[in-house]
Amino acid sequence: MLKVFRIDTKTGGIKFNEVKDNEVNFGGRGLIASIMNEEVNPKCDPLGYENKLIICTGMMAGTNVPTAHRLSIGGKSPLTGGIKEANVGGSAGGYLADHGIKMLIFEDMPEHDSWNILHIDREGKVELIDATQYQGLNNYKLVEELKARYGSKIAVISIGVAGERGYRNSTLQVTEVVDGKPARAAARGGMGSVLGSKKVKAVVIEEPDVKYKLSYDDKDKYDEARKKLINYMQESDETRTLNTLGTMFNVGLNAPQGVLPVRNFSGEYFKDWNKIDGGALLEKLKENGGKSGVPCQKGCIISCSNIYNDSDGNYLTSALEYETVAMCGSNCDIANLDFLARVDRLCDDFGIDTIETGASIAVCMEAGKIEWGDAEAALGLIEEMIEGTGFGKLLGQGTEVVGKELGVDRVPVVKGQSLSSFEPRNSKGMGVTFSTTPMGADHTAGITAVVPGIDGTSKVGQVALSSQLQAASAAADNLMCLFGWFTLLGSDFIAAVLESIYGGEWDMNRVIGIGVETIIMEKEFNKKAGFKEEDERLPDFFYNEKSPFTGTVFDFSQKELSKTHDF
C-alpha cells in the first residue's frame, strides 16, 4: 500500500501509516480538501500551529501515464484565509511515487528558531535533519548546496527567503527533471510561508534503490488503455502547440480578443503584444541558444517548458510562461522578454509568485509610485522585497495589502488573492471562475478564455461553462497535469486507465464527479472559515468601468454567480 508520513515539526517525530480506504478515492487537490476538512480548524491562523502543509501526489502517480506526476501542495492560505491547493510539476512527484509515498503532512510548529530539512534517502528512510547552514539561502544556491551534499540524483521542494520571512506571496519551488533547477513553482496562495512557519527549509528526496511497484486491478487492460491514451495525446493539436510554444501561445490567442490584462486590468488593447508572444519567445530562444519543447517531469510527451538564456548564452530561467509574461509584462505596460525572464529568475530564486508580484507592481504604477512601463523601477520593487526594506516587506504581503496602503481603488483581487492574466470583462467566463472558485482568483480553477463558438463578452452560457470547467479542472488536479488532461477530454481513456488500476466501472461522469466532490469539500471548509456569498464577486471597478476595447462590464448578479456550483 501507498504510504503517508506525518511530520510533527514541534517534536521532530515522524509517524507512518498506509493510505486509508477513503483516501484512495482522491489524489492531489481532493486529498488536500479531505484532510483539511477532517483535521484542520477552518478558523485557525494560517501561520499557526493548527494549520497543516500537505504535499501529495495524484491518483495515477507511480504509473507511466504522461503528466501523471504533478504535485498538489495545500493547506489554509495566509493570502486568502481559505483552503488552498497549489499545483506544480517537476521531479518531486515522480520521486515520491517511486518511494511509494502518497502524502507528506507537516503538522504543528516548533517552539525554537532552528530550521530543518526533511530528508528521504535511497532506502526510503524519512527524517528531519538540521538545516541551520541553509537558512538565508535562496532556492538556486540552496539546491546547488543540497546536490553537493546528496548527489545529483535528488528532487528538491524548497522555499526561498520569502518563505522564511512569512511573505504571503511566497512559493514552494520544485526542481525540474532535465536540469534540476528549482524553476517549477507551487505559486499561488502563499504556501511557502506555511512551510516556513513549520521551520522546514526543504524536502530532499533521493532516487530510490528499489522503486515501489504499483498494483493494478488489470495490468493488461492498463497497458492497452495507456497505449491508446498516448496515441490520442500525441495526435492532439493542443499537444503540438504546447510542445512548440508552451503556454506562451496564450498571448497571441488572448491579446486580439482584449483578454490579455493591460495596465492593471484597464480593459485596454495591448498593441505591443507581438513583442512578448510565442513567436517572439522562439526568436529569443534561437538567438540566445535557449530551447523549447522541454519536459518538466519524467515521461511527459507534451514537453511545454523552455530554457531561456541571457544575451551571453548563459542559463537564466526555465519555463518562461504566459502568466508571468502577462502579469509582469502587459499588465505593467512592459513588452520586453529579457526583462520578464530576469523577473522570472528573481521570483523563482527568492520564492515569490510572479502573478501576485505582477499585480502588486501594477497597483504601484496605478498609485504613481513608479511610472507605467518602467522596467528598471519594477525590478527595483522586487529587489526591495528581496532586501527586506519596509515597503518590500509590505509588497510581500500581497496585492490587496499594497492597494490599501497606497490608497488605490482599483485593486484586482478576490478573496485576498490577485486575479491572474485574463481580463474578466472580455472573457466573462473567467470572471465567473475568479469570483466563485474556492481557490481565490485562480486561473487554473477553470479556464474559459477564448472558447471557440462562445462570445467572451456575452453573459450567455458563461456560468454553465465555468461550472463545467471548474469541475473538470478540479478532477484534473486529482489526477494529472491540466495540459495532458485537456488533450484527452474528448475521449474515455482516462476512465479506462483508472478502471484498470482501481477496478470497478469507470466513465467520464465518475471521473468528473471527483472534481465535483473536491469543490464541495473546499466550499464547506471556506464556509466554516467565514466566507459568505458576498465574497464571491469581483472588485467593483469591473462592474462599474467599461472595458475601453470592447465597451463591456462584468454584469453578473450575485444570484447568477451563486448558481455556479449547483452541480
What are the residues whose beta carbons fall under 8 Å from the beta carbon of 151, sequence distance 6 or more?
Answer: 206
| Residues comprising the chain, all counted | 567
Tell me the C-alpha to C-alpha distance, in Å, between residue 349 and each of 165, 183, 317, 354: 14, 8, 10, 11
Taking Cα atoms as reference points, which of 57, 136, 64, 124 lies closest to residue 92? 57
DSSP string, 266-281: -----TTGGGSSHHHH
| Alpha helix (H) residue ranges in 335-451 | 337-350, 354-367, 375-387, 390-395, 399-406, 428-436
Bridge-based pairing of strands 116-120 and 126-130 is antiparallel
**pTM (global) more than 0.95:** yes
Per-residue pLDDT, 21: 82
Per-residue pLDDT, 24: 86
Domains of the chain: 3-206 (3.60.9.10)
Q: In 487-522, which positions are buried (b, 16+ CB within 10 angstroms) versus exposed (e)? A: bbeeebbbbbbbbbbeeeebebeebbebbbbbbebb
- Interatomic CA distance for residues 42 and 38, integer angstroms: 10
What are the residues whose beta carbons fall under 8 Å from the beta carbon of 519, sequence distance 6 or more?
Answer: 437, 438, 470, 471, 474, 565, 567
Taking Cα atoms as reference points, which of 376, 313, 318, 321 lies closest to residue 349? 318
- The cell numbers describing 339, all together, are 526583462
The residue to which cell 517537476 is assigned: 90
- Sign of the Cα torsion 1, 215, 174, 162 reads negative
Per-residue pLDDT, 490: 79
Per-residue pLDDT, 9: 98
CB atoms within 10 A of CB 120: 22
What are the residues whose beta carbons fall under 8 Å from the beta carbon of 428, sequence distance 6 or more?
Answer: 456, 457, 458, 459, 462, 552, 554, 556
CB atoms within 10 A of CB 16: 10
Query: Nearest-5° angle of CA 283, CA 289, CA 294?
Result: 85
- The cell numbers describing 52, all together, are 497543516
Cross-strand bridge partners of residue 103: 4, 56
Sheet holding 101-107, edge to edge: 14-18, 3-8, 101-107, 53-57, 71-76, 83-88
First to last CA, the chain: 33
Could you give the 3-state DSSP secondary structure of residue 309? strand
- The cell numbers describing 54, all together, are 500537505
Question: Half-sphere exposure of residue 428, counting CA atoms within 13 Å on the CB side?
Answer: 25
Give average pLDDT by consecutive 10-residue segment, the chain, 567 residues: 96 94 91 98 98 98 97 98 98 98 98 95 97 97 98 97 98 96 98 98 97 96 97 94 96 96 98 98 97 94 96 96 98 98 98 98 98 98 98 98 98 98 97 98 91 90 96 97 91 95 96 98 98 96 98 97 95
Does residue 456 contact residue 426 with C-beta atoms inside 8 Å? yes
CB atoms within 10 A of CB 548: 12
Q: What is the DSSP letter of 413?
A: E
